[in-house]
Structure 1
Amino acid sequence: MKINHLTPSEELLMQILWKIEHAYMKDVIEHYPEPKPHQNTISTFMKILVEKEFLSTEKEGRIFKYSVAVPFEDYKKFQLRNFLENYFDNSGTEMLKTLIDEKLLNPSELNQFFEIKTTVVPLVENAEAENPISDFIDEITSEKKKKKKGKKKKKK
């Protein structure tokens, strides 16, 4: 199923329908926030949402029962993909960086999504052997190296 964009008015109507899942026109009007548009306006939006395949209809006598055909979770994922593409060049990392920079997300909150692995490394048995100060002390306290026999330097 291909999901299309919704206008703000269509999305407002879908927000109502996602909450109640299926409804008759009178139920939708009842849940609509003030100022409520005219019944014909709501009816027109409902027809458009049926054409866009966001809603399905079932005739019961002389009236229609409208049911959600695109779940909210699917639409939310569709919107998120578009948002990433349009504003973050398809980079989830860039979006996370922005959320953290704007203090909308605390980095510690990310720990719940990642398994943290630790590696146990044994301590060095002879810690002094790799200590640069110990190396320097050994060098200055050791016996002097013998000079090589060979050409002597000329004095001027």
Structure 2
Amino acid sequence: MNELTKAEQQVMQQLWKLEKAFVRDIIAELDEPKPAYNTVSTIVRILERKGFVAHEAFGKSHRYYPAVSKNAYRKGFFKGFLNNYFSNSMKNLVSFFAKDRGLSIAEMEELKELLDEEIKKQKSNISEKN
């Protein structure tokens, strides 16, 4: 799956939120300063060409909607991010956030609890299968 540019991400965030929208609806949701109508229209058409967006025609106007769910994009993006920046290692990713991004003790304890719960769940699933 292709990665989105920053401008494409901003438009997709609005489409995911709105579910279906005309270009003017997308613009209304964007932060100031608002981009020009033609700029957003061009971005939407690029997204459609890339397969992220589809449309319904209403005469000469088009109502756009996401062709890729936010969750599907997030999974693909994160997989590429993990591979490109952390050698496809969750351990390297967690280590980066714990050491280089200065997670607080409370945040690390929360993560540890989440991991402990997931370990228990997976062990339970393994023992149920045997």
- Give the one of 92, 95, 99 matched to 1:94: 92
The residue aligned with 2:12 is 14
Q: Which structure features the higher share of helix residues?
A: 2
> Judging changes above 3 Å, is the alpha-carbon distance between structure 1 residues 13 and 105 closer, same or farther for their aligned structure 2 residues?
farther
The residue aligned with 1:60 is 58
Per-residue deviation, residues 24-71 of structure 1 (Å, max 9, x unmatched): 122111111110011011111011001001000110122101010010
- Kindly report the root-mean-square deviation, in angstroms, between the aligned alpha carbons of the 2 structures: 1.7
Q: Percent of counterpart pairs with the same letter?
A: 36
Say whether 1:85 aligns with 2:90.
Answer: no
Per-residue deviation, residues 117-150 of structure 1 (Å, max 9, x unmatched): 7xxxxxxxxxxxxxxxxxxxxxxxxxxxxxxxxx
Query: Contact 1:58–1:64 at 8 Å: present in 2 too?
Result: yes
How many residues align structurally? 115
- Normalized against structure 2, the TM-score is what? 0.80
Gaps of 5+ in 2: 124-130
Gaps of 5+ in 1: 118-156
3-state SS of 1:100 partner: helix
Q: Which has the higher contact order (CA 8 A, sep 6+)?
A: 2
- Normalized against structure 1, the TM-score is what? 0.67
The residue aligned with 1:125 is none
Say whether 1:49 aligns with 2:54.
Answer: no
The residue aligned with 2:126 is none
The residue aligned with 2:113 is 108
Query: Contact 1:99–1:105 at 8 Å: present in 2 too?
Result: no
4+ residue segments displaced more than 6 Å: none
Tell me which structure has the larger Cα radius of gyration.
1
3-state SS of 2:35 partner: coil
Task: State the shift of 1:6 in Å.
Answer: 0.9
CA distance in 2, matches of 1:54, 1:85: 22
3-state SS of 1:5 partner: coil
